[in-house]
């Protein structure tokens, strides 16, 4: 039994609306047109009854005259021919459009594959750049540690150089005092000898008496001179050693400064390379984002093309259904037209 609210009149209205839109009035289409209500068996029964009523109105001999039947048959044949022409044109157009759609889909799939391959290459290049960037960061950190260590060593060497300079100045001061003392002693001895010589003629006896004491004094003085000479030689040797160490310290400081300058230049070069790598990374990420956007657009275009192809297939199915209905009606009209002469002969 039909559901509440479903009547033959409503089924007829839904069928006529579908036919007016050029759609196939199938059971499912009529049910959708009715709002997905009504059982398929009831709809099938109503559609068959409406089809029989349409056939009775058009082909029932008691209701139609000979001229009208002939006219209707001619119109039916003309309608069938036109429908066949329309269907053939639609099939041709659909075949062309389907071929074009398939070609376009193949092209889009190839483009999508190329873009995915490029995206993979960019991703690999990006990973390589990131690894190189990490390696550069590690090398830069090591260089910074080496630079700090060298700076500490340089500071220590500077302190040591200052200590050597102070020690050398102290040795120079000691040597100067010793030299001044020796010169003063020599001058004193010279003055004493001059004084003794001036007094020689007048104090010969006194000098002879004091000769032993002067000889002893001279021995003591000679010992002091010897000690002063030894101290002077020792101080000279220490001064030479200090000067040698000072020269070595200056050479070490020069090498350290050269190493520091090399490290500073290396650090500047590494920072420039890091900036260049960061810029390349930014360019690669921008290119990857553009490729992702282009891939998304291509996927949307592909989905749109697939929707159009599905719509065309649905239209072709509807046209084929309509062509089948027209063909069945035409066959029915042909059978009735062929049966009319036989009935006329029987009547005569």
**Gap between the Cα atoms of 312 and 309, Å rounded:** 5
Identify the domain containing residue 209 by its residue range. Answer: 127-283
pLDDT surpasses 80 at 318:
no
pLDDT surpasses 70 at 26:
yes
What sign results for the dihedral spanned by CA atoms 327, 322, 67, 63?
positive
pLDDT surpasses 60 at 344:
no
pLDDT surpasses 80 at 283:
yes
Q: Is 64 within the bounds of a domain?
A: no
pLDDT surpasses 50 at 62:
no
Q: Is 179 within the bounds of a domain?
A: yes
C-alpha dihedral, 23 to 28 to 33 to 36, nearest 10°: -160
Q: In the structure, what pLDDT confidence band is assigned to residue 236 with cuts at 50, 70 and 90?
A: confident
pLDDT for 119-141, tens place per residue?
888 888 888 888 888 888 888 88
Q: Is 54 within the bounds of a domain?
A: no
Distances (CA, A) of 153 to 142, 253, 268: 16, 10, 21
Highest-confidence segment of 43-47, 283-287, 298-302, 330-334: 43-47
For residue 234, give the CATH number of its domain.
1.10.287
pLDDT surpasses 80 at 315:
no
Burial class (CB in 10 A: 0-12, 13-18, 19+), 133: middle
**Gap between the Cα atoms of 55 and 333, Å rounded:** 10
Q: Is 80 within the bounds of a domain?
A: no
User: What does the pLDDT read at residue 122?
Assistant: 85
User: What does the pLDDT read at residue 164?
Assistant: 78
**Gap between the Cα atoms of 264 and 260, Å rounded:** 6
Q: Is 22 within the bounds of a domain?
A: no
When divided into structural domains, the chain yields a total of 1
Q: What average pLDDT does this structure show over 271-285?
A: 82
Q: Are 34 and 13 in contact (CB under 8 A)?
A: no
What SS3 state is found at 163? Answer: helix
**Gap between the Cα atoms of 223 and 214, Å rounded:** 14
User: What does the pLDDT read at residue 59?
Assistant: 47
The contacts of residue 44 (CB under 8 Å, 6+ apart) are 27
Both tokens of residue 242? 């200090």
Q: What average pLDDT does this structure show over 34-53?
A: 88
Q: Is 184 within the bounds of a domain?
A: yes
Q: What average pLDDT does this structure show over 324-336?
A: 70
The mean predicted confidence, pLDDT, of the chain is: 80
Q: Are 126 and 286 in contact (CB under 8 A)?
A: no
Q: What average pLDDT does this structure show over 46-61?
A: 70
**Which of 3-17, 126-140, 246-260, 326-340 shows the lowest mean pLDDT across its residues?**
326-340
Q: What average pLDDT does this structure show over 163-180?
A: 83
Q: What average pLDDT does this structure show over 314-330?
A: 74
Q: Is 110 within the bounds of a domain?
A: no
Q: Is 229 within the bounds of a domain?
A: yes
User: What does the pLDDT read at residue 58?
Assistant: 45
User: What does the pLDDT read at residue 345?
Assistant: 54
User: What does the pLDDT read at residue 103?
Assistant: 92
Percentage, residues of the chain above pLDDT 70 = 89
pLDDT for 193-213, tens place per residue?
788 778 878 876 876 777 788
pLDDT surpasses 80 at 178:
no
pLDDT for 69-93, tens place per residue?
678 777 877 887 888 888 888 889 8
pLDDT surpasses 70 at 339:
no
pLDDT surpasses 80 at 163:
yes
């Amino acid at each position: 039994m039909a559901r509440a609210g479903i009547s033959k009149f409503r089924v007829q209205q839904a069928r006529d609306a579908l036919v007016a839109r050029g759609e196939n009035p199938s059971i499912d289409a009529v049910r959708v047109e009715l709002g997905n209500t009504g059982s398929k068996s009831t709809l099938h029964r109503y559609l068959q009854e409406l089809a029989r009523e349409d056939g009775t109105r058009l082909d029932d001999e008691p209701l139609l005259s000979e001229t009208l039947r002939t006219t209707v048959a001619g119109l039916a044949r003309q309608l069938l021919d036109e429908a066949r022409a329309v269907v053939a044109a639609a099939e041709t157009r659909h075949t062309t459009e389907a071929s074009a759609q398939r070609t376009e889909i193949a092209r889009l799939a190839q483009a999508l594959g190329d873009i995915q391959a490029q995206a993979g290459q960019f991703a690999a290049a990006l990973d390589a750049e990131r690894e190189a960037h990490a390696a550069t960061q590690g090398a830069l950190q090591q260089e910074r540690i080496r630079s700090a260590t060298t700076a500490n060593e340089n500071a220590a060497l500077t302190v040591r150089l200052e200590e050597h300079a102070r020690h050398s100045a102290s040795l120079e001061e000691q040597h100067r005092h010793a030299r001044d003392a020796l010169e003063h002693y020599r001058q004193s001895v010279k003055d004493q000898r001059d004084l003794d010589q001036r007094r020689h003629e007048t104090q010969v006896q006194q000098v002879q008496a004091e000769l032993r004491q002067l000889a002893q004094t001279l021995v003591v003085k000679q010992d002091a001179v010897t000690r002063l000479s030894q101290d002077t030689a020792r101080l000279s040797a220490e001064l030479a050693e200090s000067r040698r160490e000072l020269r070595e310290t200056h050479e070490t400081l020069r090498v350290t400064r050269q190493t520091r300058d090399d490290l500073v230049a290396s650090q500047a070069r590494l920072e420039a390379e890091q900036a260049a790598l960061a810029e390349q990374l930014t360019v690669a990420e921008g290119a990857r984002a553009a490729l992702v956007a282009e891939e998304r657009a291509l996927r949307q275009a592909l989905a749109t093309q697939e929707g159009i192809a599905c719509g065309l297939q649905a239209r072709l199915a509807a046209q084929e259904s309509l062509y089948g209905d027209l063909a069945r009606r035409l066959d029915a009209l042909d059978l009735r037209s062929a049966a009319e002469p036989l009935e006329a002969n029987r009547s005569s």
